Amino acid sequence: MSQLNILDAQQNDPSFANIWQELKWRGLVHVSTDEVELEKLLAGDPVTYYCGFDPTAPSLHLGNLVQLLLMRRIQLAGHKPLGLVGGSTGLIGDPRPTAERSLNTKDTVSEWVGYLQAQVRRFLSFEGDNAAQMVNNLDWTAPLSAIDFLREIGKHFRVGTMLRKDAVASRLGSDEGISYTEFSYQILQGMDYLQLFRDYGCMLQTGGSDQWGNLTSGTELIRKVEGKHVHALGTPLITNADGTKFGKSEGNAIWLDPAMCSPYAFYQFWLNTADADVAARLKVFTFLSRAEIEALEVSVAERPFAREGQRKLAYEVTSLVHGVDATEKVIAASAAVFGNGDLSVLDEATLKAATSELPSATVDAGDLGIIELLVASGLSESKSAARRTVGEGGAYVNNAKVTDPDAVVASSSLLHGRYLLLRRGKKNLATVEVSGA
């Protein structure tokens, strides 16, 4: 089942009267323009809305996933999404709070635009009366001269207002300062909204609340140039219950591209969610109903040891991003690594991802005796200790118990022709890669 099939199978929660109330219950509304008018707008005839994604990396990440799922929720309510991948704004990058971005080459940005467009497409429907459309702001900025840009767009922005934007203000107070290039980013994003308003009648832009200054630059520009009032919605920045930054794993971003974050690592990230964060994550990152989420919340509170909420969360989000087949492979890999499944059915990528954090060693093809393997892997401190482990029935190779201390592992037992998974007892694991096999 594809990501879109999963999303289609889980329509908006029928317990809500309208999409605005659902978004609020799910904790997706942190700041917005006129809330009363915005609720009326979303409860009425189909409206066009957009969210922008800049190709400052070759993949989207969990922060972007919040926006992708928000876009899909609003589309499921009958509205028309525009997925903007910023071929021009990606050449600049929005100002970070601390330091100037490194500018990527035009060829790199162009390549990344294609990657991000493909990722966005997986979460939106491009068929039906409210079919999504992809747009690229390079299409309207590239033909514009610097003089025309300053005369037609720049004249509507006041420097005093621009200086008060959070990202700009924080950079002005830093040693790094801010270049005119990044300072102008908010003008470019404002122009995007104006262009989409003119071309598609776009009435709403969504984004993270840290982008609020950039979002409102567009609403203000449209008010000044067209005399129309349009809307913006900022989602909250997601943090863990303990106040730490969400979406990082040991300092690394959780990417949506499986080549940058394997489905196994992705699944484990969600499985390790703290009890206090499970309900909030289910609301934001799944399409489960209110009743289903509240039942899982009770389970987490009353039976935390069962980790039912975490397992459901990990399954749902991994299925949305990587598909059901990949998710089921991950679950099978987890079971197999700990002795509850067949390791031989795992593909090499999944096996490597599932064992990537285990102690590992490389041995020659001529050193496959069980005693030598246990010592080489670090599971036994010495040959005598290894012999005791085997004698006590605690030695396993690829989940098969080894009881003969003189046993030699056959080359036919190597997983994918070169790997072995060793286990001492129930929980002590290590991998061995065999060279020259």
> Which residues of the chain, if any, have pLDDT below 70?
1-17, 248-251, 437
DSSP tag of 408: B
Distance, in Å, from the CA atom of 183 to the CA atom of 381, rounded to the nearest integer, reads 60
Domain(s) labelled CATH 1.10.240.10 in the chain stretch across 248-342
Asked if residue 202 lies in contact with residue 49, where contact means CB atoms within 8 angstroms, the answer is yes
pLDDT at 340: 85
Locate all alpha helices (DSSP H) within 212-289, ordered by sequence.
212-226, 263-271, 275-285
Whole-number Cα distances in Å, 420 to 46, 334, 363, 374, 382: 57, 16, 11, 11, 20
Distance, in Å, from the CA atom of 305 to the CA atom of 300, rounded to the nearest integer, reads 8
Residue 260 phi, psi (nearest 5) = -100, -20
pLDDT at 59: 97
CA atoms within 13 A on the CB side of 254: 23
pLDDT at 7: 55
| CATH for 360-435 (2.60.40.10, 3.10.290.10, 3.20.20.70, 3.30.360.10) | 3.10.290.10
Strands 133-135 and 80-85: parallel
pLDDT at 246: 83
Report the sign of the C-alpha dihedral through residues 13, 14, 15, 19, in that order: positive
CA atoms within 13 A on the CB side of 380: 23
Helix (H, G, I), strand (E, B) or coil at 125: coil
Residue with token string 């090499």: 348
Can you name the residues that pair with 423 across neighbouring β-strands?
396, 429
What's the token pair of residue 276? 């206090």
What's the token pair of residue 217? 């630059």
Asked if residue 182 lies in contact with residue 101, where contact means CB atoms within 8 angstroms, the answer is yes
What's the token pair of residue 308? 């039912």
Radius of gyration of the chain (CA): 26
* pTM for the structure as a whole: 0.89
Domain(s) labelled CATH 3.40.50.620 in the chain stretch across 3-235
Cβ partners under 8 Å of residue 105, min gap 6: none
Domain(s) labelled CATH 3.10.290.10 in the chain stretch across 360-435
Distance, in Å, from the CA atom of 294 to the CA atom of 278, rounded to the nearest integer, reads 11
Q: What CATH fold (topology level) applies to the domain 3-235?
A: Rossmann fold (3.40.50)
pLDDT at 1: 44
Neighbours of 37 (CB within 10 A): 12
What's the token pair of residue 18? 């309208």
Q: What CATH fold (topology level) applies to the domain 248-342?
A: Tyrosyl-Transfer RNA Synthetase (1.10.240)
Secondary element (H or E) of residue 31: strand 31-32
